[in-house]
Chain A
Amino acid sequence: MTDTVRHPPGPLIEIEGLRKTYNAGLPSEVEVLHGLALRVDAGEFIALMGPSGSGKSTLLNILGLLERMSAGSYRLQGEPVQHLDDTGLTLRRRQSLGFVFQFHHLLPAFSALENVTLPALMADGRVGPRQLARARELLDAVGLAHAMHRRPSELSGGMQQRVAIARALVMSPPLVLADEPTGNLDTASSDEVFGLLRRMHAERGVSFVVVTHDPRLAARCDRLVELVDGKIAHDGPIVA
């Protein structure tokens, strides 16, 4: 059974004039994003590429409400979020976004199943039967039904990343942001994990923005956004 939440079509993210400056007002002040405009629609699978230092991670952190923009406007599912306080940003993040990081970042003291149920635990203070069933279903979907009770240290890198994907999807967010999700894996595991992201996109209608350095994987996305020196150098569909 796939407990899929289909998200309505339309813009998920609308960003205008996005600027990000570090050390503002100091001699070391540096602007890393220079007035970006970006729109992400429901159901898209976007590759975000660019050389090191081009601002990919900063952009992803701002999209994920982990960092604040210095100037510009940001609407998430139609609602402006740039003026929300820390708690407001946290609750929006909990509600609308899933994350997959390069180093999977599972909590070592928790089993695979507990890691997947953590977002539900922090939202409700307990894990209800429905949430537990969904976590089990997701772990089954990523092929880890047999390893639910293992600790992260007992899992391979690829398996850990699959647990992280299940965790990103457990609250049924409309958008998952993945920061080099295969950057730490060998080629076979990379292909496997990327294939899993694509399958989740196809089966569950979740949108993905995936930062990657690997052109081979970027070619498997629907749209490519390329950043160079803090500006969007290319934004368009990928033609096979």
Chain B
Amino acid sequence: MTAWLGFETRVAMRFLREGRMQTVLIMVGVAAGVAVIVYISALISGLQANTLAKTLGAQAHITLRSLEDTVLPAAERAPGELALSEAQPRAQRLRSVQNWQPLMRQLEQLPAVAGVSPMVAGAGLALRGEATQSISLMGVDLERYDRIVGLGAKVVSGTARLAPGEAIVGRDLAADLGVRVGDRFTVQTAAATDTVRVTALVDLGVRELNQRTVFVPLRAAQSLLELPGGATTIDLSLHDVWAAQALADTLRERFPYQVESWQENNAQLLSALNAQSVSTSVIRAVVLVVVVLGIASVLVVSVVQKSREIGILRAMGATRGQILRVFLLQGAVVGSVGSVAGLLLAALLIALFTTLVRGSDGLPLFNITLEPVLALQVALLATVCGVLAAIAPARRAAAMDPAQAIRA
């Protein structure tokens, strides 16, 4: 029985071992290429995941609110009639989402939805002593809202709790008002005034939000904003954040509400992320092309150097196919060994990044990990590239005329 690739493997390995310096150099080249691809991919996906987590950590994936008031024309224009009209846009008042409680139950049934939370949001003032700050007042059901933005995890002081008369306050607003956990301050809106006690300070990850946000119980906000039993928005969190746009489009068609996905609210951020992804892909493609050209050039030189040996092998009875496979195998070996070394190098670079690059708080800037799937994909890709790079030199070797090659 013929042992599969026994001859080809033995000759390919010996050829590689014989050209030691060339082999080592090209393997180092492949390793460097693989390391760059894996490291940049891990870095960019870590950076993007961090940016997304920060962005989505303070907002819902989808928000529903009632449609804006519009000015209707006094009379329909008759066909062929020319009308010159000017309509003053209406001032928007705070309105509740119609039938929000049955709507919420309906939304909770959707398989893509992880959490649904009603909110009453409006503007107000926070007063304490001589300090006055404009605030964004948010009335929430804490348990539900926690499923949307994970408020509990953002507490920097105190305990997240919203009993009647209690409030959770943004870290910077607390500093501006000079309040700590347990202190009281006054919340004033156009309709009412109330005093609340601070139970926790939170860091929402965005300075502007930290300077303005006050969370109070849903009922307290309803009475402060004169919206008894109402909810100005319904917030949704999803299992897959990237499904938000499609679901928002569906909801927009099904319900008479204003529906916004996080992508629509952060279009600029998304374009930046996309641009980053495209740049990463371009870098990866360029590095792969360089790797392929590197392997190909070394193997072309090897074919020229070994033409006499190829001729003698052909004279002894090696078929064109066997010679072809000897060189394809060399490409595969260079690609696979180079990628394993490259993965180790990438792991080292990632470890160095995590250890050496830290923020002002002494913690790593963001989490960057070597994903096994990514590592496997890149290693496979490099091996396939090694074989592809070897095709031209291998065909050249296989096409050699043995009589001429021996005379060379």
Contact = CB atoms under 8 A, between A and B. Distances in A.
Query: Does chain A bind chain B?
Result: yes
B10 interface: yes
B3 A126 contact: yes
Contacts of B2: 124-126
Contacts of B274: none
Given A87-B320, A105-B308, A122 B7 contact: yes
A90 B7 contact: no
Contact of A122 (B309, B322, B401): B322
A61 B403 contact: yes
Q: Which of B15, B311, B312, B318 has the most CB of A within 10 A?
A: B312
B309 A125 contact: no
A3 B230 CA distance: 102
Contacts of A123: 317
Contact of B7 (A91, A108, A125): A125
Given A86-B320, A121-B10, A122-B313, A108 B403 contact: no
Contact of A66 (B4, B5, B313, B403): B403
B271 interface: no
Contact of A108 (B18, B320, B402, B406): B18
A105 B18 contact: no
A125 B5 contact: yes
A126 B6 contact: yes
A90 B317 CA distance: 5
A99 B315 contact: yes
Q: Which of A87, A121, A124 has the most CB of B within 10 A?
A: A121
Nearest to B315: A99
Nearest to B321: A87
A81 interface: no
B205 to A, nearest CB: 62
Q: How large is the interface on A (under 10, 10 to 19, 20 to 34, 35 or more residues)?
A: 20 to 34
A122 B15 CA distance: 15
A110 interface: yes
Contacts of A109: 14-15, 17-18
A175 B377 CA distance: 52
Interface in B1-50: 1-7, 10, 14-15, 17-18
A121 B402 contact: no
Q: Which of A94, A119, A125, A167 has the most CB of B within 10 A?
A: A125
A230 interface: no
B79 to A, nearest CB: 83
Contact of B317 (A86, A94, A108, A126): A94
Contacts of A84: none
A61 B407 CA distance: 11
B319 interface: yes
A118 interface: yes
B314 interface: yes
A99 B316 CA distance: 7
Given A66-B403, A101-B312, A105-B312, A122 B317 contact: yes
B50 to A, nearest CB: 51
A91 B319 CA distance: 8
Interface string A5-41: 0000000000000000000000000000000000000
Interface string A107-149: 1111000000011011111100000000000000000000000
B382 to A, nearest CB: 26
A93 interface: yes
Given A107-B312, A110-B14, A122-B313, A90 B319 contact: yes
Interface of B: 1-7, 10, 14-15, 17-18, 308-309, 311-322, 401-403, 406
8 A-B pairs closest in CB distance: A94-B317, A125-B6, A125-B3, A126-B3, A109-B14, A109-B18, A66-B403, A125-B2
Interface of A: 61, 64, 66-67, 86-87, 90-91, 93-95, 99, 101, 105, 107-110, 118-119, 121-126, 167, 171
15 contacts: A86-B320, A87-B319, A93-B317, A94-B317, A105-B309, A107-B313, A109-B17, A122-B313, A122-B316, A122-B322, A124-B6, A125-B2, A125-B7, A126-B3, A126-B6
Given A121-B10, A125-B3, 14 more contacts: A66-B402, A66-B406, A87-B319, A90-B317, A93-B316, A94-B317, A99-B316, A101-B406, A105-B309, A105-B406, A109-B17, A122-B317, A124-B2, A125-B5
